[in-house]
Structure 1
Amino acid sequence: MADTQPQVAVLLAAYNGMRWIEEQIASILTQGQVDVRIYISVDPSNDGTEAWCARCAEMHANVELLPAAGPFGGAARNFFRLIRDVDFSAFDYVAFSDQDDIWYPDKLHRAVTTLKSGRIDGYSSNVIAFWPDGRRMLVDKAQPQVKWDYLFEAAGPGCTYVLTLKMANKFRDFVVKHWENIQGVTLHDWLCYAFARSAGFTWNIDPIPSMDYRQHTENQVGVNSGLQSAIRRVKKMTDGWWLGQVRRISNLTAGLGSQSISDRPQVTGRRAIAALGIQSRQCRRRSRDQVIFAVFCIVAAACLK
């Protein structure tokens, strides 16, 4: 390419985002030392998001609104649509974006520099969560990766993910091949990280925050902070959702790369779930989460029929 700056395709999934999307896109368009093109897919909204995005695309040559294809019913399916339908061939890197955050000016440059420097295929980072009342908190996801963490958690917020073109293309092939089955995956970032690690790609979790991560009542996931958030997450673990997602993601990514299926933990059956509790240090990155994971597995195993 004549332009020597790295070319980055930014995939942005939107839904009823009028309160925040203008600030989000402005922070992407002002990224330093990279060239960006934003691809927006809007889940049918009732607050004018589609019309605003269409006007934004008319005003900016490097913003494109994809044709309507929803409803998706959640961010994951919207992102899968973006991954399938956007042509990455003219780019060096692919990044994911939410509709309501604020990227720091060097977010993509720092990611690209990391990917170039260490033969890394996938990048994510810590973030600073912020609330309407002015509270701010570091969300630390940069603990050392462990043997099986990718089967049980993402590599941090998906809005920090940046992939090399090679990995993005392989992930797209995977998404297309398993299109029907991945529709049952609720968290696209978890699946992306599981695919990367299962297929032998290398991943770096940067301890330096790259963005302000907005917290509000419409967050699909959000930060695990406070009593209500903890209760919500415990409920997901105990109502079968979490274990169902673990099994689906494990089945989808089994046998990728040079990894043997026998090298992966079993996630079905009382004995297998109890064994996971014993091996919790290989299943979650953070010490606190390892303890919670072990307790959950022991309780879940006792409750299984």
Structure 2
Amino acid sequence: MFSTTPPATQVLWRDANGDDYHTAPKQFDQRGVANASGHQRSGADQREIGGRQLAVILGYYNGESYLWEQLHSIFNQTHPPSHIFISDDASDTELCSELLGYHRHCSEKVSIWVRAANIGFANNFLNALSYVDEPFRYFAFSDQDDVWHSDKLEKALDSLEQHPEDKPALYCARTLVTDETCNVIKGVSPLFSKPPSFTNALVQSIGSGNTMVFNKAARDLIVESSSNTEVVSHDWWCYQIISGAGGIVVYDQEPCLRYRQHANNLIGASKGWKARFIRILGLLQGRFRSWNDINLSALVKHRSLLTQENQNYLDNIIMARRSNFIKRFFLFCRSGIYRQTLFGNLGLLLGVIINKV
């Protein structure tokens, strides 16, 4: 369990010039480090962002080997972000501007947050997001070791702007899976053709966090629902709570970045027979059921945020997990849950039969 309001002595925001701020992130300085509540920008800067103010939340932990390439790909977007917030989850080596290696003119667009203690990748993202608010209208998660396609943010914003600002909307996409150099393409993440929905989100996450971009309404919903809440992963939770609340989830079938695979990946690519075998083994060992225990508990805690229809789906799956085989099978069928692929649905059926969902 984590708190979205850690004591001031446990967090530190540092801008790229090396200046430190021991106050909470919502009280940044007046010199170009983004102020989450009233940062003043020049007229030229306002024209540049054109109402598309976007903040990138980059989760970092011992990732100095690849971080420069990641930042370079973000700075060189056709629609660059207004600011990048790097949340360092108590790395072994202190992260500083010299280590980052970005150009001096980009320094005012980067802030570094160093934690006193490691809280895990999911909590690191969600906790950092809770501190980044106004004046930003859009938000994106970033890993520390990918390479973004140059039009990643522009495509995401073009998609999100088709929907009302007051409705939570989330964009996610496929990825190109590469080797450690990020140059040799080893494959593409699975193609999902069924529509995103809450009944899918209950049993599957279709969008990696490193591809996610979302609007202010989605940001507010994520922050409200993740405060003091345990979840399996930040990206899966975003899919669950946004779809559950009746928001919009856009799944782009075109890849938006190069997803580097190396020995230090916390979560690897989920494609191929080896990945399928690992998922089946995890299902038999009860790992999938344990994940559902955590997510369902979080959804029950924030039940009031869900639509009435999705509350009913939630009730059905909870009741099904507590029932004997015949009733369990009936309730799972009525719950409408599904995975995106035939193999995934066969695995889901096996999990229902042996009560491991």
Query: Same fold by TM-score, threshold 0.5 exceeded?
Result: yes
1:1-305 alignment runs, 5 A limit: 2-3=46-47, 4=50, 6-46=52-92, 48=93, 50-51=95-96, 59=104, 60-72=107-119, 74-86=120-132, 88-119=133-164, 121-132=169-180, 134-145=184-195, 146=197, 148-176=199-227, 179=228, 181-182=229-230, 185-254=231-300, 255=303, 256-260=305-309, 261-264=311-314, 265-267=316-318, 268-271=321-324, 274-275=329-330, 278=333, 282-300=337-355
Q: Which amino acid aligns with 1:139?
A: S
Q: Does the Cα contact within 8 Å between 2:241 and 2:306 map onto a contact in 1? A: no
For 1:300 and 1:253, locate their aligned partners in 2 and report how far apart those are by CA, in whole Å.
Answer: 20
Residues 105-160 of structure 1: CA distance to partner in whole angstroms, max 9, x if unpaired? Answer: 10000000000124471110111111248342111344222550111112311111
How far apart are 1:275 and its partner, in Å?
4.5
How far apart are 1:49 and its partner, in Å?
5.4
Q: Does the Cα contact within 8 Å between 2:313 and 2:335 map onto a contact in 1? A: no
- What is the SS of the residue equivalent to 1:67? strand
Q: Does the Cα contact within 8 Å between 1:29 and 1:36 map onto a contact in 2? A: no
For 1:121 and 1:144, locate their aligned partners in 2 and report how far apart those are by CA, in whole Å.
Answer: 18
Residues 160-182 of structure 1: CA distance to partner in whole angstroms, max 9, x if unpaired? Answer: 11110111012112222xx1x32
How far apart are 1:39 and its partner, in Å?
0.4
Gaps of 5+ in 1: none
Matched positions, count: 294
Gaps of 5+ in 2: 1-42
Task: Say which is worse superposed, 20-29 or 77-86, in terms of deviation.
Answer: 77-86
Aligned CA distance change for structure 1 residues 226 and 258 (closer, same or farther; 3 Å): closer
Residues 160-213 of structure 1: CA distance to partner in whole angstroms, max 9, x if unpaired? Answer: 11110111012112222xx1x32xx23110011101011111111011111011
TM-score of the aligned structures, taking structure 1 as reference length: 0.86
Aligned CA distance change for structure 1 residues 30 and 71 (closer, same or farther; 3 Å): same
Task: Say which is worse superposed, 223-232 or 136-145, in terms of deviation.
Answer: 223-232
Aligned CA distance change for structure 1 residues 78 and 147 (closer, same or farther; 3 Å): closer
Q: Percent identity?
A: 24
How far apart are 1:285 and its partner, in Å?
1.8
Residues 238-282 of structure 1: CA distance to partner in whole angstroms, max 9, x if unpaired? Answer: 333321221321232242233253233324325365447657973
How far apart are 1:11 and its partner, in Å?
0.5
For 1:296 and 1:53, locate their aligned partners in 2 and report how far apart those are by CA, in whole Å.
Answer: 50
Aligned CA distance change for structure 1 residues 6 and 291 (closer, same or farther; 3 Å): same
Residues 21-76 of structure 1: CA distance to partner in whole angstroms, max 9, x if unpaired? Answer: 11111111111134331101112223x3523577668941101001324212x311
TM-score of the aligned structures, taking structure 2 as reference length: 0.74
Per the alignment, residue 12 of structure 2 pairs with none
How far apart are 1:227 and its partner, in Å?
4.8
Rg bigger for which structure? Answer: 2
User: Aligned-residue CA RMSD in angstroms?
Assistant: 2.7
For 1:39 and 1:203, locate their aligned partners in 2 and report how far apart those are by CA, in whole Å.
Answer: 24
Q: Which amino acid aligns with 2:322?
A: G
